[in-house]
Structure 1
Amino acid sequence: MRRFVHYSSLMALLLAPCVQARETFNIHALEIDNPGQPVADLSAFAEAEGQQPGEYQVTVYVNGEQQGDVQNVNFVAGVDQKLNAQLTPALLRAWGVKIDAFPALAALAPDHALEDIGQYIPLAATEFRFSKLQLNVSIPQAAMDSTARGQVDPAQWDEGVPAALLNYNVSGSHTQYSEGEGADSNQYASLQSGLNFGPWRLRNDSTWNYDERNGSHWNSINTQLLRDIRTLKAQMTLGDSYTPSDVFDSVPLRGAQLASDDNMLPDSLRGFAPVIRGIAQSNAQVTVKQNGYTIYQTYVAPGAFTINDLYPTAGSGDLDVTIKESDGTERHFVQPFSAVPLMQREGRLKYAFAAGKYRSDGGAEPQFGQLTAIYGLPHSTTLYGGVIYADNYQAGALGLGIGLGELGSLSADATVARAMPVNSADHSGQSYRLQYSKDIQATGTNFTLATYRYSTEGYYSFQETNDRQDGDNRDALDHNKRQKLQLDVSQRLGAMGSFFISGYQQDYWGEKGYERTLSAGWNGSINGINYSIAYSYSEMPDSDTEADQQLAFSIQVPLSRFLSNAWASYSVTSAKQGNTRQQLGINGTALADNNLSYNVQQSYTNQGAGASGMLSATWKGGYGEVSGGYNYDDAMRQVNYGLKGGVVAHPHGVTFSQSLGQSLAIVKAPGANDTRIQNNTGIYTDWRGYAVVPYVTPYKKNRVALDPSTLRDDVDIDTAVQTVIPTQGAVVMADFNTRVGRRALMTLIYRGLPVPFGAEAKLSDGGSGIVGDDGQVYLSGVPDRGEIVVSWSGAERCRVHYQLPDNSADVPVLETEQECR
């Protein structure tokens, strides 16, 4: 009998349903200190990964790719109290989901909340990692749009707000000459102004020059009205502009132009601005002109210099560089400016159409039309060509570009032209061009551009035909271009540094000699000590002056052990059949943001030139950049100065800025004054909480972020990061939801007892907190008076009407007790 009982018991255990046991927290234990206190529903926190439903700011990843910065997503309680994201068709479309491929999904309103996307898209799912505030969305690849890496949906492009813009760059100098030779003053201003209204951009570039000998002169370089054409991925320009330089030489135009814009393409589908190098013998003024206009002017210290921040004006056109030394002597050289070989991806069409009047400084100005097209063919081949038609000029070009794999890329083209200048016989000829580009990774060699062009004696470019028509000089057309060779090569040498060489040679029909420019140099670093050797050569045709040759050596030693962000420098510059100059100095940056730069130099030059020196400083603040300097030698004393920045008038007021780029963002954070903008030197919000981020990339996602550590104690924000996607030339708003108020630790009492643990207290303007022990809740951005809504167990229970004491403004965290009714 006993054995039967044992067997029966065993069978009962085996056949009994499975029972699971687990540890749970008795929430009634929270009532021990306060019997009778209401109890909030805390079941959501009793499960692993369980959290309170509501809206959270999360980072979204779709198939492992981050979608912008943080986004507000609403979550509801699902199985086991885990949170499920409520996505919408609009969000899914923005993330690249083929909404129209799923009829049930396409039929919903764009803002319809979806608790389970798997019901609409098979195998789709979401996962919320609360500890990282990260939402992972998994979508089958077949349900995703086939888009290029980094592509932004054009529906997200922001045309910006109406705005008026002014970019200014003012510089000048006052020179006092020795031995009673008097004084001289010089001022220069460059102004870029504009208006934005909808997709339209009105722009003007003007310059102003003044010197005591010639007086003042104002020059409007160009005025244009622009807008993008999204469906064509192109820019339309009305007014003054320049034609593209990929097929024909770029020429100035006053009329209309429609050209495809590579900026509208993602980085993975896209494909040159010149860098000017030279050597100054003293504290010199460097002026850069293009097509007869001064486009850049600056002051440089003795020795080798580099200019790599030219304001964009034209796609091509040689740059005339003038170095004016402190003793008044001038040296000139030509910096060629053209584009690299123009390979396009298979199926990609790049085009430009222009019609209007040729702009010339004293030459002919005929009406003309130009059409160019570049098309990517299979097998790494590109076909390109174009036509120009005017009453005095007709030309056609055809070329082919070929990708040679590891050997680089090569393009070859031929242009046939007929020129009919005024008061001259007709000319017909051909021009042939070869271009080569290659970056050899294995050896670190980069052929940035290698070009050879040969033109027959009867060939004239459109620019030569018009600009050289001078009634007083019938020989002006006899010196057209014949051969041109251009080469830019750089070579990395590992720990030994890098070497570069840039050369240019041009000769002319009917003219002896060559126009030559050569720059070469070596840069390296040993244990943090930087050194460089540079050589320059320039020669002009039919000139009795010997070629100008300069050799320079410089070395920089860090002084971090004695002075942070500072370097000691030594340089020596020697001119062939000229003097030799040695220079010793200290330069560096200072202040918390490194927005103050300084430079002190002392020099000595042989052959009787004697000693000289200079002192300069530049401060870069949120409202612009101020620079000043003093230099001297035996012949003169000079003070130079500069001021540059920008002003933006927008619907929310007027904001001052550093120099403006083509597209920019306005930070709107009302009440958050003097808050630093991350990744921007010296930029802080103004007294109203506004600032200008002067450079943002058009048609791309740009991150604009506030530095939370610089917020005042009485300011709070939902998120410190905003993403903006401007169109070309747009002024877009980066709107931050700021709450200005105090930080308070409130004890909330309901019917004589503390509000229950886990209740939610929410300010009327959006700030909220979870109630802890003894009814305490921490809130930030609390106004001096207002209302707090308190909820628990899924329902509103009471409200707090409060007024903070007036004498608590200086307290970091105010402690107060409030009644909830």
Structure 2
Amino acid sequence: MIFRRQFLPIIVKRPSSNLHYLAGVLLLASVDASARDYYFSPSSLEGDAQSQADVDLSLFSKSNAQLPGVYSTSIVLNKQKLEEVSLTYTNDEDGVLHPALSPDQLRKWGIRIDAYPDLVQQPTDKPLTQPLGHFIPDASVNFDFNTMTLRISMPQAAISNEGRDYIDPSRWEDGVPTAFADYSISGAQHTDSDNKTDTNQYLNLRSGANLGGWRMRNYSTWSKSDDTNSWQSINTWVAHDIDILKAQFTAGQSSTRGDVFDSIQYNGVNIATDEDMLPYSQRGFAPTIRGTATSNAEISIRQNGYLIYQASVAPGAFEIKDLYSTTNSGDLEVTVKEADGTEHKFTQPYSSLALMQRPGQMKYEATVARYREDGGTNANEPLFAQGSVVYGLNNFSTLYGGLTGSEDYYAANVGTGIALGAFGSVSLDITLAQARLDNDETSTGQSLRLLYTGKIESTDTNFTLAGYRYSTHGYYSFADANQKYDADEDDWQFRYNKHNRLQLSVSQNVLGTSLYLSGYQQDYWNTSKKERSLSAGLNRTLYGMSFHLAYTYNKTDDNNSDQMVSFGVSVPLSKWLPNSWANYNLSNNKGGDTRQNLGFNGTLLDDQRLSYSLQQSRSNHDGESSSSVYGSYRSQYANFNSGYYYSSDNSQQLSYGVSGAIVAHPHGVTLSQPLGDTFAIINARGASGIRFQNQRGVATDVFGNAIIPSLTPYQINNIRVDTTSLPEDVDTNATTLTTIPSRSAAVAATLEAQVGYRALIKLSRSQNRSVPFGAIASANVKGVTGIVDDTSTLYLAGIGESTRLLIKWGTGLDQQCAAQITIDATQPLTNPTGIRTIDALCQQVTAHAE
């Protein structure tokens, strides 16, 4: 037999561990680096003459030959990875593998099938009858068996010009029918020094159902304290993609996008461009809330009068990035309530970014609805219509404008955006409005708005948003114009319409130090009263230690200003305890109270799903000292947190929180961590305990189901299995699941896993004969197969305590045998891998087995 130097894996699917190679890998190498051929007898592989006729290895006498079959393959088009799929491969007379590609697959990968007549004539779902280069000149494919990668070289003219990361809408998945409730529950019980107790609870509930491409959602909150009990249904709506328009249709209670006009809440219908449907390369915001807590504090965030977020945090600096806002603009009112009952407030400005579009692209929105008043206000709710358009004129400029109309209000907007190159972009617009107010007065005015976003490369300064608005005396926004007038002298926001507003959100890196500044100021006509809010700080990491300095200031209406400055340092203790830190924090508020905190915090468990914090603090106010403990845990069923605070004046506080979801889907009902907007339902065919990379605490439950939260809509999402932590009784060849969900979809993915024992089976036949190398073994368990290696050893996963094997190396009765495998579950394992070692006799088959 003639062999060339080559690597000969005898497997059908990508292995999940090196153990699979025991049954499938043979390395044959020449002793010379030249291309000369060498011959030796196949009996050398078996060691006895009887076996020479049993196995045919002639295929592997050819260079680059491999067995045909279905292989899990990474698709790479012009050096860009697209996805991982299972492809069927055939081999030619030389044994070289060729992928069976269909026109549908090529179209899915962004190749312009319709531009090649011969290719159009091929059956769309059948493999091509000729090599790809026959249909598309200069196109070629190359399959790298060692890395399981199919590299496709394609002329640029044959690739869709939609964008280098374009994904055809036909690949978007609407998901499976589901109903769910995504919840966040928090509460606290505070007992003061006089032993008086007050409690409060908060529930944030996002419930919904998916059917086909339709999304039904309700966003509600519930809050309870000793003297109040409030349930608010903030929004209820249905939505559906309009793929051809790259837009979303929404009906019900929602809010406008707030690009051209201020975002307003409505009850009606809306069609608006969804830029997430475009590739990243063709796209033109909830803000991050930063602050400092001096104890186990309760963070409350309100927008448009609605309480949209409430949670407990441990002492120290905090960042909140998971907001579900009620509108796309509208300032966020943040309250930090400490364990001793003191409160600090500040306002986070939240508004549209500078308006720019790529040349020839258009973004639009149209709404016909009834206006919905902000929570806690008293306003008229008229019918209205609003429309806006943003169009990219060329590489440097964008034009936009819009109209708003109701029975008592009319407004028109026109503006332009200018690209400033490396300095970012700026937009300038003017709004003309006429309003008949609630007191029957008619007012006409204009509002000029300037927005800037970008980065100044020379100074490494990032402007998330810088904005200025000037309004004439007679200008009212639509929301302000619908405010009801009750002749209350304290109703100064109605009596004095807005004049100037300046807002800024900027970050700067200076010599390794990150600085940030966020704030706004609003003043009004005919009064010296102003609203002001400012949040500023810096962060620095030096020799593994991190430092932060923060300042907050807030003043609204006639309330006294609230100010606080804090400094903190965190020192890693990883040399003594992995993933742990010691921290010190010093804070001072406007009242002159200074508090010092010394603490210890960290994370535990292999995927850091358990976190903890221990704090000791002291205040100069009456020499008060306090102690606190706080912990959080991410489980596969929900996220949990709790904290306890005790002060030297005998006051104490207990806080707790649970966030997660209940999802009903075709495979059952699953408890999970918070879902986010778009999520995946994984079914592992009954295999429990399978975990996933970069998903702390997520694992398949006792029914083999798991929820992967927070997927990115309209983009490729790769869900990777953590094969290093598979349970002892579970095995899988799958390493990655790929999905492309549409917005708010609940997509389903099946993970092929085998549940049962893993075993290395040493086979033998009568008269001390071995089972031939390359023999195929199949079990009486669906999906369990294996290949015998050159030592007559077989590796199998997913077998039961009693399993019957049929082993074939040919079609004749003398080329197959059967073995009965019995595993004693009470027998302790002798190795840490969870793999059992078994000897089995393979007996001659006397009749053909089905």
- Residue 757, structure 1, aligned to residue 773, structure 2: yes
- Residue 207, structure 1, aligned to residue 225, structure 2: no
Alignment check: 8 A CA contact 1:177 1:635 kept: yes
- Residue 117, structure 1, aligned to residue 141, structure 2: no
Q: In the aligned structure 2, how far is the partner of 1:139 from the partner of 1:797?
A: 50
Give the match for residue 270 of structure 1: 283
Alignment check: 8 A CA contact 1:163 1:195 kept: yes
Give the match for residue 56 of structure 1: 71
Alignment check: 8 A CA contact 2:295 2:628 kept: no
Give the match for residue 297 of structure 1: 310
Alignment check: 8 A CA contact 1:363 1:470 kept: no
- Residue 630, structure 1, aligned to residue 644, structure 2: yes
Tell which deviates more after alignment, 402-411 or 187-196: 402-411
Give the match for residue 203 of structure 2: 189
From 489, 495, 515, the counterpart of 1:478: 495
Give the match for residue 5 of structure 1: none
From 68, 71, 83, the counterpart of 2:97: 83
Alignment check: 8 A CA contact 2:418 2:425 kept: yes
Query: Which secondary structure state, in structure 2, belongs to the residue aligned with residue 464 of structure 1?
Result: helix
Query: Which secondary structure state, in structure 1, belongs to the residue aligned with residue 611 of structure 2?
Result: strand
From 573, 582, 587, the counterpart of 1:559: 573
Q: In the aligned structure 2, how far is the partner of 1:77 from the partner of 1:333?
A: 68
Q: In the aligned structure 2, how far is the partner of 1:776 from the partner of 1:735?
A: 30
- Residue 350, structure 1, aligned to residue 363, structure 2: yes
Change (3 A) 1:599 1:796: farther
Change (3 A) 1:260 1:95: same
Alignment check: 8 A CA contact 1:550 1:576 kept: yes
Q: In the aligned structure 1, how far is the partner of 2:494 from the partner of 2:813?
A: 88
Q: In the aligned structure 2, how far is the partner of 1:224 from the partner of 1:308?
A: 24
CA displacement 1:343-362 (0-9 Å, x = unmatched): 11011111111111101143
Give the match for residue 10 of structure 1: none
Give the match for residue 250 of structure 2: 237
Q: In the aligned structure 2, how far is the partner of 1:813 from the partner of 1:26?
A: 31
CA displacement 1:116-140 (0-9 Å, x = unmatched): 2233223322222222222222223
- Residue 526, structure 1, aligned to residue 542, structure 2: yes
Q: In the aligned structure 1, how far is the partner of 2:588 from the partner of 2:426?
A: 39
CA displacement 1:601-622 (0-9 Å, x = unmatched): 1111114251122211111111
Tell which deviates more after alignment, 510-519 or 614-623: 510-519
Following superposition, the deviation at residue 471 of structure 1 comes to 6.5
Unaligned 5+ residue runs, structure 1? 1-19
Change (3 A) 1:552 1:777: closer
Give the match for residue 696 of structure 1: 711
Change (3 A) 1:48 1:196: same
Give the match for residue 158 of structure 1: 173
Give the match for residue 615 of structure 2: 601
Alignment check: 8 A CA contact 2:618 2:626 kept: yes
Q: In the aligned structure 1, how far is the partner of 2:574 from the partner of 2:791?
A: 54
From 114, 122, 135, the counterpart of 1:100: 114
TM-score computed with the length of structure 1 as normaliser = 0.92
From 548, 553, 569, the counterpart of 2:583: 569
- Residue 398, structure 1, aligned to residue 422, structure 2: no
Give the match for residue 23 of structure 2: none
Tell which deviates more after alignment, 616-625 or 305-314: 305-314
Tell which deviates more after alignment, 726-735 or 84-93: 84-93
Alignment check: 8 A CA contact 2:269 2:368 kept: yes
CA displacement 1:459-516 (0-9 Å, x = unmatched): 0000101134447678763211110011222210133x12222231110113223211
Change (3 A) 1:335 1:54: closer
Q: In the aligned structure 2, how far is the partner of 1:635 from the partner of 1:395?
A: 59
Give the match for residue 730 of structure 2: 715
Q: How many residues align?
A: 795
Give the match for residue 298 of structure 2: 285
Change (3 A) 1:775 1:553: closer
Q: In the aligned structure 2, how far is the partner of 1:167 from the partner of 1:260?
A: 26
Tell which deviates more after alignment, 82-91 or 468-477: 468-477
Following superposition, the deviation at residue 588 of structure 1 comes to 1.2
- Residue 436, structure 1, aligned to residue 460, structure 2: no
TM-score computed with the length of structure 2 as normaliser = 0.89
Q: In the aligned structure 2, how far is the partner of 1:297 from the partner of 1:36?
A: 73
Amino acid at match of 2:837: V
Residues 703-742 of structure 1 aligned to structure 2 (within 5 Å)? 703-742=718-757
Give the match for residue 805 of structure 1: 822
Give the match for residue 379 of structure 2: 363
Query: Which secondary structure state, in structure 2, belongs to the residue aligned with residue 184 of structure 1?
Result: strand
Unaligned 5+ residue runs, structure 2? 1-34, 830-835, 846-850
Give the match for residue 635 of structure 2: 621
Change (3 A) 1:711 1:276: closer
Query: Which secondary structure state, in structure 2, belongs to the residue aligned with residue 463 of structure 1?
Result: helix
Q: In the aligned structure 1, how far is the partner of 2:410 from the partner of 2:844?
A: 86
Q: In the aligned structure 2, how far is the partner of 1:428 from the partner of 1:242?
A: 25
Tell which deviates more after alignment, 731-740 or 195-204: 731-740
Query: Which secondary structure state, in structure 2, belongs to the residue aligned with residue 730 of structure 1?
Result: strand
Tell which deviates more after alignment, 719-728 or 307-316: 307-316
> Larger C-alpha radius of gyration, 1 or 2?
1
Amino acid at match of 2:539: N
Amino acid at match of 2:102: T
CA displacement 1:626-665 (0-9 Å, x = unmatched): 1111113326211111111111110100111011111001
Give the match for residue 251 of structure 1: 264
Q: In the aligned structure 2, how far is the partner of 1:147 from the partner of 1:29?
A: 57
- Residue 790, structure 1, aligned to residue 814, structure 2: no
Give the match for residue 652 of structure 1: 667
Query: Which secondary structure state, in structure 1, belongs to the residue aligned with residue 742 of structure 2?
Result: coil
Alignment check: 8 A CA contact 1:719 1:736 kept: yes
- Residue 419, structure 1, aligned to residue 443, structure 2: no
Amino acid at match of 2:508: Q
CA displacement 1:552-598 (0-9 Å, x = unmatched): 11111111122221111111111234221111111111122211111
- Residue 507, structure 1, aligned to residue 520, structure 2: no
| Identity within the alignment, % | 42
Q: In the aligned structure 2, how far is the partner of 1:137 from the partner of 1:820?
A: 47
Question: What's the RMSD between the two structures over aligned residues?
Answer: 2.5
Give the match for residue 26 of structure 1: 41
Alignment check: 8 A CA contact 1:279 1:550 kept: no
CA displacement 1:193-240 (0-9 Å, x = unmatched): 1111111111111111111223x2211111111111111111111111
From 161, 168, 175, the counterpart of 2:190: 175
Tell which deviates more after alignment, 305-314 or 741-750: 741-750
Following superposition, the deviation at residue 30 of structure 1 comes to 5.1
Alignment check: 8 A CA contact 2:314 2:630 kept: no
- Residue 459, structure 1, aligned to residue 475, structure 2: yes
Tell which deviates more after alignment, 380-389 or 295-304: 295-304
